[in-house]
Amino acid sequence: MNIIPATLADASELNALINSAYRGESAKKGWTNEAHLLDGIRINEPTLAGYLRDPKTVILKCISAEGQILGCVYLKTEKNRRMYLGMLTVSPALQANGIGRQLLRAAEMWAVRSKCKVVYMTVITSRTELLNWYARRGYRNTGKIIPFPADTKFGIPREPIELVVLEKEV
């Protein structure tokens, strides 16, 4: 497996992968899905294309020897030497095989190379198993809680959802 920056040409394949891992029946094959919490799609191709055009953003992709995208992670460099990490995604059929850990390490190395000191993210507060996974990798709960975006382009909550901010110094 190789982890490299995605390009605009990857938008369609990334869109299919991310939505398959977060929502719908296919997502239920993995342990990181949000299908029980949110309806609708996780992302759309125009939004991904916008991310891929943004000079402050990179999406790292993990590819197989055959070139298939197995996973990805979104990173955005922000002010104060901070990097936002989001949309850590692994194909549902391949979860629990170390791809997520490799992507997370690659994201942290990208942050260091980008001269960022802190990587932070938001996680749904009820996702205890995911919060624990990140805690085992050195991310600490800041205690800061924010509301889930009201814009339905990231999904339609089935119940009230809040996000907690996690961070790690790199």
pLDDT at 29: 67
pLDDT at 149: 85
Instruction: Supply the CATH number for residue 55's domain.
Output: 3.40.630.30
pLDDT at 48: 96
CA 72 – CA 91 distance, rounded (Å): 9
pLDDT at 30: 64
Whether 130 is in a domain gets the answer: no
Whether 114 is in a domain gets the answer: yes
Q: Which residues contact 169 (CB under 8 A, 6 or more apart)?
A: 117, 118
- Total number of domains in the chain: 1
- pLDDT per residue as tens, the chain (170 positions): 799 999 999 999 999 999 988 876 665 666 666 777 887 888 999 999 999 999 999 999 999 999 999 999 999 999 999 999 999 999 988 888 899 999 999 999 999 999 999 999 999 999 999 999 999 999 999 999 999 988 777 788 888 899 999 999 99
Whether 148 is in a domain gets the answer: no
Whether 149 is in a domain gets the answer: no
Classify the C-alpha dihedral 83-44-46-99 as positive or negative.
positive
**How confident is the model over 54-86, as pLDDT tens digits?**
999 999 999 999 999 999 999 999 999 999 999
Whether 106 is in a domain gets the answer: yes
Whether 128 is in a domain gets the answer: no
Structure tokens at 13: 């394949």
Whether 124 is in a domain gets the answer: no
Whether 160 is in a domain gets the answer: no
Q: Is 48 helix (H, G, I), strand (E, B) or coil?
A: helix
Domain hosting residue 93, numbered range: 2-119
Classify the C-alpha dihedral 19-121-124-104 as positive or negative.
positive
> Cα separations (Å) of 74 from 6, 29, 106, 108?
10, 22, 11, 12
